[in-house]
Structure 1
Amino acid sequence: MLPSQQGGRLGVGFTLRRSYLLLLSLMVLLLTASGDAWAHAVAEGDKGYIQEIYGVHLMSFIYLGAKHMVTGYDHILFLLGVIFFLYRMQHIAIYVSLFAIGHSTTMLLGVYFDIGINSYVIDAIIGLSVVYKALDNLGAFQRWFGVQPNTKAATLIFGLFHGFGLSTKIIEYEISSNGLLANLLAFNLGVEIGQLLALGAILIVMGFWRRTGGFLRHAYTANVAMMCAGFMLVGYQLTGLFVS
Structure 2
Amino acid sequence: MITGYDHILFLLGVVFFLYHMKDVAIYVSLFAVGHSVTMLLGVWFGWGINAYIIDAIIGLSVVYKALDNLGAFQKWLGFQPDTKAATLIFGLFHGTGLASKILEYNIADDGLLANLLAFNVGVEVGQLLALFVILIVMGYWRRSPNFMRQATYANIIMAGLGVLLTYQQIAGYIAST
Common fold by TM > 0.5: yes
> 2:109 corresponds to which residue?
177
> 1:66 corresponds to which residue?
none
Q: Which runs of 4+ in 1 moved over 2 A?
A: none
> 2:61 corresponds to which residue?
129
After the TM superposition, which residues 137-148 of structure 1 pair with which residues of structure 2 at under 5 Å, given as runs?
Answer: 137-148=69-80
Q: Which amino acid aligns with 2:30?
A: L
Say which of 162, 166, 170 aligns to 1:230. Answer: 162
Q: Per-residue CA shift, 1:160-192, capped at 9, x if unaligned?
A: 000010100111100110000111011111111
1:105 aligns with 2:40: no
| Cα distance in 2 between the residues matched to 1:118 and 1:134 | 25
> 1:21 corresponds to which residue?
none
Q: CA deviation at 1:116?
A: 1.6
| SS of residue matched to 2:18 | coil
Identity %: 70
Superposed CA RMSD in Å reads: 0.7
| Cα distance in 2 between the residues matched to 1:157 and 1:116 | 16
| Cα distance in 2 between the residues matched to 1:72 and 1:111 | 18
| Cα distance in 2 between the residues matched to 1:237 and 1:187 | 24
Q: How many residues align?
A: 176
* Structure 2: 5+ residue stretches without partners: none
Q: Per-residue CA shift, 1:134-170, capped at 9, x if unaligned?
A: 0000000110110100000000000000001010011
> 1:72 corresponds to which residue?
4
Say which of 184, 191, 196 aligns to 2:128. Answer: 196
Say which of 43, 50, 56 aligns to 1:118. Answer: 50
